[in-house]
């Protein structure tokens, strides 16, 4: 079996790479059937049969539990490590103790620090906003830190009591409003963790010739965690990318020393010279700005929780979770798992109603990551054509007058005929 390998941060992809995949629970089986066909057809067409993806099923979720007694068998993790690049359908969150979420477990155990969510508009997609075509953003959500680290102590437990005593006695913290009945959560945000995510976002912007990176944070309130993210980000941009970027931190400095006019002029010249603009936005204002001025934002680098909210808000503007793709990537080790971003949709599982768009477009991110962009572009164009022709699944059809409603597999076949 041919394996994708990595050396000095650069992937080597054989013509017939083995790609582990998790089918997933609920609608996982529904969406995978057409997705496999679409990947095969596009790769075949783009490379005249010289290349092919060899999908290797690995188990996780309900299917894994039924067959092995474990929701996330060790062999599955090993396969993702061995083959580097994989793809997965949705997984139900296991009931009962143990792993809190299989998705979070996969991200943490493989240290997949970037959650990449490109959000763009496909013509014809029903949208709740007036000009959805202005949305073209690439979200880099930090995936391993922040309040998501899972360090929480429930009110009334011995742990919470200990933690409260530590805060009061050792740290002199007297600000907790209702100490006796408080649960506590810890929000670790590191310089290393912030820098590797922001570095990846800047490299991505430069590679794809995109105009800006917006650092989204809540540093006005959380000065050392979210504010740290912003400050470390600006410092890294200037230190590591020098001449290739112009930052708003530089603009601020120039404004202080030489006045606003000089700062504006320097910015204008930098942008004219094709430099990447690195700026920042407070998270709440950002959620407003994506509705008012979405064209002003391109690559977005942000912390874990902000990224969670922002990804869903943006996805809703361009068609919702049925077609929003995602990838979890460690650009250093090369490990990457692309995924449908929706859940298992138990209400429609097995009924042939699910939109396979999310897993198919996640496949295009995977093909991009592998450098097989011709096949990826072909799928994206066919996706747009299929939606423009109003041949869509029920989640879209109900908002599209005169649309022809297709089943999950019919949608896949129609997309293939549009390749
Ligand atoms: P969900 O995303 O499964 O469903 C929310 C709504 O969206 C439902 O009405 C569903 O029918 C619809 N929907 C979702 N995907 C669709 C598609 N491809 N086409 C058409 N309609 C679609 O979210 P919910 O109900 O909160 O979660 C169900 C299960 O999925 C839970 O166990 C949850 O933990 C898990 N989950 C897993 C995720 C993952 O594996 N990445 C992400 C989110 C939830």
Which of the listed residues 86, 343, 349 should we mutate to test ligand 1's pocket, taking the one with most ligand atoms within 8 A of CB? 343
Q: What is the pLDDT of residue 148?
A: 83
Q: What is the pLDDT of residue 97?
A: 55
Q: What is the pLDDT of residue 9?
A: 87
Which of the listed residues 63, 87, 90 should we mutate to test ligand 1's pocket, taking the one with most ligand atoms within 8 A of CB? 90
pLDDT per residue rounded down to tens, the chain (419 residues): 799 999 998 999 999 999 999 999 999 999 999 999 999 999 999 999 999 999 999 999 999 999 999 999 999 999 999 999 999 999 988 665 555 688 888 998 999 999 999 999 999 998 999 999 999 999 999 999 999 888 999 999 999 999 999 999 999 999 999 999 999 999 999 999 999 999 999 999 999 999 999 999 999 999 999 999 999 999 999 999 999 999 999 999 999 999 999 999 999 999 999 999 999 999 999 999 999 999 999 999 999 999 999 999 999 999 888 889 999 999 999 999 999 999 999 999 999 999 999 999 999 999 999 999 999 999 999 999 999 999 999 999 999 989 999 999 999 999 999 99
CB 351 within 8 A of CB 393: no
Alpha-carbon distances of 172 from 151, 166, 175, 386, rounded to whole Å: 21, 9, 9, 62
| Known catalytic residue at 308 | yes
Name the closest-CA residue to atom 22, ligand 1: 322
CB 318 within 8 A of CB 132: yes
- Indicate the helix (H) or strand (E) that contains 326: strand 325-329
18-22: strand order across its sheet: 54-57, 18-22, 85-88, 336-340, 325-329, 114-120, 136-142, 299-302, 212-217, 276-282, 245-247
Per the DSSP assignment, residues forming a β-bridge with 302 are: 141, 216
Locate the ligand 1 atom nearest the alpha carbon of residue 339 and give its number.
41
CB 244 within 8 A of CB 212: no
pTM score:
0.94
Q: What is the pLDDT of residue 150?
A: 82
22-40 burial, b if ≥16 CB within 10 A, otherwise e? bbbbbbbbbbbebbbbbbe
Name the closest-CA residue to atom 11, ligand 1: 345
Strands (E), 226-324: 245-247, 276-282, 299-302
Strands (E), 89-151: 114-120, 136-142
Q: What is the pLDDT of residue 98?
A: 57
Q: Could you give the CA distance from residue 68 to residue 77 in angstroms, rounded to a whole number? A: 14
């Amino acid at each position: 079996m041919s394996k994708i390998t990595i050396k000095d941060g650069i992937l080597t992809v054989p013509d017939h790479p083995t790609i582990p995949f998790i089918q997933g629970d609920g609608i996982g089986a529904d969406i995978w059937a057409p997705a496999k066909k679409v990947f095969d057809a596009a790769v075949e067409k783009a490379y005249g049969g010289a290349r092919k993806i060899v999908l290797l099923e690995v188990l996780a979720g309900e299917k894994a539990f039924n067959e092995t007694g474990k929701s996330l068998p060790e062999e599955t993790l090993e396969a993702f490590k061995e083959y580097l690049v994989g793809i997965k359908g949705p997984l139900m969150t296991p009931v009962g103790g143990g792993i809190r979420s299989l998705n979070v477990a996969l991200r943490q155990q493989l240290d997949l620090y970037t959650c990449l969510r490109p959000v763009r508009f496909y013509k014809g997609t029903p949208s709740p906003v007036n000009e959805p075509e202005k949305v073209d953003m690439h979200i880099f959500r930090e995936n391993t830190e922040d309040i998501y680290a899972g360090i929480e102590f429930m009110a009334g437990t011995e742990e919470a009591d200990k933690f409260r005593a530590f805060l009061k006695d050792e740290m002199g913290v007297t600000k907790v409003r209702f100490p006796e009945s408080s649960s506590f959560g810890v929000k670790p945000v590191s310089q290393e963790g912030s820098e590797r995510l922001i570095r990846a976002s800047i490299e991505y912007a430069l590679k794809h010739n995109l105009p800006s990176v917006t650092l989204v944070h809540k540093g006005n309130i959380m000065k050392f965690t979210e504010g740290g993210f912003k400050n470390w980000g600006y410092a890294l941009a200037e230190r590591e990318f020098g001449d290739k970027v112009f930052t708003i931190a530089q603009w601020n400095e120039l404004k202080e020393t030489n006045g606003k006019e000089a700062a504006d002029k320097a910015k204008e010249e930098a942008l004219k010279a094709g430099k990447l603009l690195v700026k920042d936005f407070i998270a709440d204002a950002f959620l407003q700005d994506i509705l008012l001025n979405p064209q002003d934002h391109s690559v977005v680098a942000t912390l874990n929780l902000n990224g969670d909210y922002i990804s869903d808000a943006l996805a809703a503007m361009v068609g919702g979770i049925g077609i929003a793709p995602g990838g979890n990537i460690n650009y250093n080790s090369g490990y990457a798992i692309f995924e449908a971003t929706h859940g298992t949709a138990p209400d429609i599982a097995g009924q042939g109603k699910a939109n396979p768009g999310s897993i198919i477009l996640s496949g295009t991110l995977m093909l991009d990551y592998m450098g097989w962009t011709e096949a990826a572009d072909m799928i994206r164009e066919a996706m747009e054509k299929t939606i423009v022709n109003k041949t869509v699944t029920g989640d879209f059809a109900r908002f599209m007058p005169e649309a022809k409603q297709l089943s999950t597999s019919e949608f896949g076949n129609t997309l293939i005929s549009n390749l």
